[in-house]
Chain A
């Protein structure tokens, strides 16, 4: 907890860290507090108010079915951010496990695992997503799982590279000399010292995942109604992008602002967690 506070205060020192923190916190808050924060029921149709521009009662206007855009976006945060977090989480677990095993054990395990990583990196990700997510009637869970399962390889590479460096550190040698088991050393000596890079990659990956999910949903392949992600909501504005500009603009801003948030946070985390700067302060 103490470490967490220190990290936040370090991030807060730079402008980009501050903006990133605020934006990410804002969107997490919206997603968590959706029922309390949204002014209307996001699925309730109001045919009298179809496609009405922003007004005092509907700040971001209404969509083709008269549903309140703001409420839909707030509930959409649950889907978009949820899929982003969920898929990044899965990718981090898979990528860290593979990267740690490959970098720590080296030898044949490393060769085999990295072959698999190279093989999967050779897959055209978006096309596979289009096929898997597009051919089924994807639930939020399925979308997040497929996204995560196709995105862990970069993290595995980053983690492996770091683990190879950490493995040569004297504290790992000292632990080996103490007769600790390889599993113990990998999990308690190596992994915690790679966590910085993992956190950075994960944060940046959340943004990428939100973007990919939005693209899929926009094309009509993603989450199916009644669930709606920001991409699904934008899809409604595509027929007359300027006539119903408030749909495209507000949904687009939600995506852009959340991505800016996660990207800024990731960049600032990289500056703060960089082992070089971290050692310098001790």
Chain B
């Protein structure tokens, strides 16, 4: 396993459940367990992928790391800090180090803000000129030209929007980026470009990725380690090479077969 000093994220016995309002006249509240006592560790600088079908609980884990979903039990430690024991000011500072990139870039960009404001909000520099320089360099780092500064999201193409989202995630100089299905809403040709961009960013900056995906092709390109989730639990965790060459759990084998990445034995 990993060296504990090099850990950036440690999740222990995390459980997440949702209330579903039942149907019927009086309705019955049912509790649905989305994540069931999951533990995992992510090392600094690696790309850790959680794969699974929709409803497996992988997005719930991502949302609780980002602080949008309150877990029923368990702890999440980031840089050895328990995220649930921070006060609101500490939490806001820590949050800047964990940034999300969402699947649907359309809903991830405020339609009423220009590109400059969207990126500017993530930059903690008060000097206007410096801020603008930083904004332009962010745009360049994701392959967008400075001409976009005054544009609104709806004037951008799908691929450009996702690049903008990545730039925004980079703005506060985070240590961990959570990629929630980062390319699955994109056309195939754009997917390749975005994936290449993500690999490049990873190489130049010392950033850790937590990749949430159902697409094993994406996982194979980006990930170092893989955890397979099914119905709220992790059924298999291994290195990327081992997972793709020699999956142990039957469910992993099934996933690989369905994606056409290995032949049925």
Which chain A residues have a beta carbon within 8 Å of chain B's beta carbons? 169-171, 173-181, 188-189, 192-193, 278-279, 281-282
Q: Number of residue pairs across A and B with beta carbons under 8 Å?
A: 63
| Residue contact A178 to B172, C-beta cutoff 8 Å | yes
A174-B108 in contact (CB<8A): yes
Cross-chain contact of A173 among B100, B121, B154 (Cβ < 8 A): B100
Majority secondary structure, A binding face: helix
Fill in one digit per residue for B141-174: 1 if any A CB lies within 8 Å of its CB, else 0.
0000000000001100000000001001101100
27 contacts between A and B (CB under 8 A): A169-B107, A169-B108, A170-B102, A171-B107, A171-B108, A173-B66, A173-B68, A173-B102, A173-B108, A174-B100, A174-B168, A174-B169, A176-B67, A177-B66, A177-B67, A177-B96, A177-B98, A177-B99, A177-B100, A178-B95, A178-B99, A178-B122, A178-B171, A179-B93, A179-B95, A193-B111, A193-B112
- Please judge, given known A-B contacts A170-B102, A282-B154, whether A176 and B68 are in contact too, CB under 8 Å: yes
Name which residue of chain A comes closest to B94, CB basis: A179
Beyond the given pairs A177-B66, A178-B95, 16 more chain A to chain B contacts, judged by CB atoms under 8 angstroms and listed by A's residue number, are A173-B100, A174-B100, A176-B67, A177-B98, A177-B99, A178-B96, A179-B92, A179-B95, A180-B121, A189-B110, A192-B110, A192-B112, A193-B112, A278-B111, A282-B111, A282-B153
Q: Which residue of A lies closest to B68 (CB)?
A: A173
Closest A-B pairs by Cβ, 3 of them: A282-B154, A170-B108, A192-B112
How big is the B interface, by class?
20 to 34
Expressed in whole angstroms, the Cα–Cα distance for A59 and B17 within the complex equals 73
CA distance A179 to B67 in the complex (A): 11
Residue-wise interface mask of B (82-121) relative to A, using a CB-CB cutoff of 8 A (1 in contact, 0 not)? 0000000000110110111010101111111100000001
What is the CA–CA distance of A188 and B113 in the complex, to the nearest angstrom? 9
The answer to whether B68 and A279 have CB atoms under 8 Å apart is: no
B104 to chain A, nearest CB (A): 7
Contact A179 B172 (CB under 8 A): yes
Distance in Å: Cβ of A278 to nearest Cβ of chain B: 8
Q: Are B66 and A171 in contact (CB under 8 A)?
A: no
User: Are A174 and B102 interface neighbours, CB within 8 A?
Assistant: yes
Chain A residues positioned under 8 Å from B67 (CB to CB): 176-177
Interfacial chain B residues near A281, Cβ < 8 Å: 154
Residue of A nearest to B102 (CB): A170
Residues of A within 8 A of B68 (CB): 173, 176
CA distance A130 to B67 in the complex (A): 51
Judging by beta carbons under 8 Å apart, are A179 and B109 in contact? no
B112 closest partner in A (C-beta):
A192
Within 8 Å CB of A193, what residues of B?
110-112
* A105 to B: closest C-beta gap in Å: 14
Q: Which residues of B contact A170 (CB under 8 A)?
A: 100, 102, 104, 107-108
Question: How would residues 117 to 146 of chain B score, 1 for a CB under 8 Å from any chain A CB and 0 otherwise?
Answer: 000011000000000000000000000000
| Chain B min CB distance to A145 (Å) | 31
How far is it, in angstroms, between the C-alpha of A169 and the C-alpha of B121 when the chains are bound? 17
Give the residue name and chain of the A residue nearest to B92 (CB).
A179
Task: Give the chain A neighbours of B106 by CB distance below 8 A.
Answer: 279
Cα–Cα distance between A169 and B110 once the two chains are bound (Å): 9
Taking CB atoms, residues of chain A closer than 8 Å to B109 are 171
Chain B: minimal CB distance from A157 (Å): 20
Q: How far is the CA of A260 from the CA of B102 in the complex (A)?
A: 45
